[in-house]
A and B are shown apart, each in its own frame.
Chain A
Amino acid sequence: AQSVTQLDSHVSVSEGTPVLLRCNYSSSYSPSLFWYVQHPNKGLQLLLKYTSAATLVKGINGFEAEFKKSETSFHLTKPSAHMSDAAEYFCVVSDRYTGKLIFGQGTTLQVKP
């Protein structure tokens, strides 16, 4: 079965410093992986997705993620955090047969001024 593990429940960075949100996946095949963001009291918005094309995926708002098969990781990064990046971030894997999304537990990103 596919699964994702987000290694940090809470990450705090200062504005202007890099962001790293870690995600490991478990899958017996090449998975489809997504990062979604949820701002307070809002729905989920897709940041980026990996679907077996380029291993470095660029998303919206300056975020990117790199698929590393050898490490079974799909970490989300951004060179410089903005206050508006403060939100909950979800790493997600798509079930190969059904397309059902399987969510990680989420990482809360705090950005300090």
Chain B
Amino acid sequence: DAGVIQSPRHEVTEMGQEVTLRCKPISGHNSLFWYRQTMMRGLELLIYFNNNVPIDDSGMPEDRFSAKMPNASFSTLKIQPSEPRDSAVYFCASSLQSGTQETQYFGPGTRLLVL
């Protein structure tokens, strides 16, 4: 299996522009997670889906952030409009199902820089 696939790997954009990050989970996994990693705040869970349904989006910073999972093999995280403080590494992870003992498998991340 190719693992969790994220695109793009790097994104540089200007403040005010729309940014879309993409994720393909491991085939057969039912849960998908979006994380953000910054020096100041470490790794934070933004939102997670179970069977394509958003379960908890309490980590989404504000209305500028939105996430969708139209099918079991694809998810997007959109920032509109982007701001410099959104600069971070964004990780997508998937697991076979939700649960405390399930292992989450992480993608390589998207490094976002907003100028």
Which residues from chain A sit less than 8 Å from chain B, CB to CB?
31-32, 34, 36, 41-46, 49, 51, 90, 94-96, 98-101, 103-106
Contacts and interface: CB of A to CB of B under 8 A. Distances in A.
B100 A95 contact: yes
Contact of A44 (B95, B102, B106): B106
A32 B100 contact: yes
Contacts of B111: 41
Interface in B88-113: 91, 93, 95, 98-109, 111
Contacts of B49: none
Contacts of A106: 42
Given A98-B56, A100-B45, A43 B4 contact: yes
Contacts of A42: 108-109
A105 B42 contact: yes
Interface in B53-87: 55-56
B101 A100 contact: no
Contacts of B99: 99
A44 to B, nearest CB: 4
Given A43-B106, A43-B107, A46-B103, A99 B42 contact: no
A44 B37 CA distance: 11
Contact of A96 (B31, B95, B100, B108): B100
Nearest to A2: B100
